[in-house]
Amino acid sequence: MPIIQMNMLAGRTAEQKRAAVSAITDAVVATLGVKPEQVRILIHELGPEDFAVAGETAAMRGQKPPG
Amino acid sequence: MPIIQMNMLAGRTAEQKRAAVSAITDAVVATLGVKPEQVRILIHELGPEDFAVAGETAAMRGQKPPG
Amino acid sequence: MPIIQMNMLAGRTAEQKRAAVSAITDAVVATLGVKPEQVRILIHELGPEDFAVAGETAAMRGQKPPG
Amino acid sequence: MPIIQMNMLAGRTAEQKRAAVSAITDAVVATLGVKPEQVRILIHELGPEDFAVAGETAAMRGQKPPG
Amino acid sequence: MPIIQMNMLAGRTAEQKRAAVSAITDAVVATLGVKPEQVRILIHELGPEDFAVAGETAAMRGQKPPG
Amino acid sequence: MPIIQMNMLAGRTAEQKRAAVSAITDAVVATLGVKPEQVRILIHELGPEDFAVAGETAAMRGQKPPG
């Protein structure tokens, strides 16, 4: 622990994901006093019809995929 | 908030998803006194071997994909 | 299925929760063509220091508990 | 209930998933006093760039896919 | 991995939880070919107004707490 | 999005949680190119009998609460 689940729109590159999990792990280690190897991160990617705000999906809102 | 995660078998159309997130958002706004833009919905789709009841997957139970 | 998890700030009454799960279930049944007894809803309540937007918790933002 | 979500690296066969959900269901029934049909299991599969330990993804660690 | 999240009604004893996580871990090790120390289990307990089937909470259905 | 759920043992102070969500948000903004207000973080705290590694709960392992 901590075990972190990150939900985001699909489309990031491997490089972006690697940078993100590295930076998040550093942030958690620095603020919660845990060792890096205790930090696990799971990424769940969502398609443009699978995330909605105010009852409209990202596709409906014309939200472009990241990257 | 609320942030809502909906798990369901894969296979719904974009139209069905759009209708569902719209109706769920309305339901939450009407009953919990929040604004529509506070409501976020995430859909996670599952394959036929990735959901089980009573120890049997949907595929084993002969459950047909929706739609 | 669907199995729905709703995360929201703690503080709603039992009446509000009951109204919400009833309305959400109706919304799902009407739009996804499932039977009411297939719809399961789990509510996870969060304290004011356990939900953050833009790096600030609800408590920091002076967000009042619902209800 | 219980409703169980299992996150694991993608790559298991249908046979492995079926064996796993059957055995997990038996384990829950035997220890928690519920009926098999009350136990629901959801499997979420993760790609090699979507799971990280100590700030490194499975792909970075050279972790091979299961099976 | 696997990382397993189990949602269930609140009320089980520590002994029941310990028996459950031990048996589930054995089931996963036996069927998925992982080492015990790779298996992590998180239990989320839900109150009687926080779990609904068919639009009715456990409290409404007169469902008694486990144990 | 991203929407981040962090599971950790109960016992951190409000100050620790505030430092963590601030640092995680900065990490996500810096690496994924999103705006701070798009980042939502939910913290789920777990009791010592509600988290297990290798079939043993944190309480069984004599793991002390953080902080």
Dihedral (CA of E45, E38, F18, F5) sign? negative
CA distance D34 to chain E (A): 9
Burial of residue D52, with CB atoms counted within 10 A of its CB: 0-12 exposed, 13-18 middle, 19 or more buried = buried
Which of C3, C4, C39, C41 should be substituted to probe chain D, the one whose Cβ sees the most D Cβ atoms within 10 Å? C3
What confidence tens digit (pLDDT) does each residue in E1-36 have? 899 999 999 999 999 999 999 999 999 999 999 999
What confidence tens digit (pLDDT) does each residue in F17-27 have? 999 999 999 99
Which residues in chain D are closer than 8 Å to E7, comparing Cβ atoms? 1-5
> Residue A27: which of F31, F53, D7, C18 has the closest Cα?
F31
Confidence at residue F26, expressed as pLDDT on a 0 to 100 scale? 98
Cα–Cα–Cα angle for D65, D67, E4, nearest 5°? 75
Confidence at residue C7, expressed as pLDDT on a 0 to 100 scale? 98
Q: At residue D19, does pLDDT exceed 70?
A: yes
Which residues in chain E are closer than 8 Å to D66, comparing Cβ atoms? 32-34
Average pLDDT over residues E27-55: 97
| CA nearest to A48 within chain B | B14
Which residues in chain A are closer than 8 Å to F19, comparing Cβ atoms? 31
Q: How confident is the model at residue C65 (pLDDT cuts 50, 70, 90)?
A: low
Which tokens is B61 given?
């139970």
Average pLDDT over residues B3-9: 98
Of F6, F24, F32, the CB nearest to A16: F32
Average pLDDT over residues B26-39: 97
Confidence at residue C63, expressed as pLDDT on a 0 to 100 scale? 80
- Taking CB atoms and an 8 Å cut-off, how many pairs form between chains C and F? 48
Alpha-carbon distance A25 to A37, whole Å?
Answer: 9
Q: At residue D67, does pLDDT exceed 80?
A: no
- Taking CB atoms and an 8 Å cut-off, how many pairs form between chains B and F? 6
Residues of C tagged active-site? 2
Q: At residue F41, does pLDDT exceed 80?
A: yes
> Residue D47: which of A42, A46, A51, A49 has the closest Cα?
A42
Give yes or no: D2 in active site: yes
Low-confidence ranges of chain A (pLDDT < 70): 65-67
φ, ψ for residue B61, nearest 5 deg: -80, 0
Mark yes or no for CB contact E6/D8 under 8 Å: no
Cα–Cα–Cα angle for E4, E7, E8, nearest 5°? 135
Q: At residue B23, does pLDDT exceed 60?
A: yes
What confidence tens digit (pLDDT) does each residue in C10-63 have? 999 999 999 999 999 999 999 999 999 999 999 999 999 999 999 999 999 988
Confidence at residue A65, expressed as pLDDT on a 0 to 100 scale? 64
Mark yes or no for CB contact E17/F51 under 8 Å: no
Edge-to-edge strand ranges of the sheet holding C3-9: A56-57, A51-53, B40-46, B3-9, C3-9, C40-46, E51-53, E56-57
Residues of B tagged active-site? 2
CA distance B44 to chain D (A): 9
Mark yes or no for CB contact A18/D54 under 8 Å: no
CA distance C67 to chain F (A): 20
Confidence at residue E9, expressed as pLDDT on a 0 to 100 scale? 96
Kind of pairing between the strands at A56-57 and B51-53: unpaired
Q: How confident is the model at residue F61 (pLDDT cuts 50, 70, 90)?
A: very high
Alpha-carbon distance D56 to D60, whole Å?
Answer: 6
Which residues in chain D are closer than 8 Å to C3, comparing Cβ atoms? 3, 40, 42
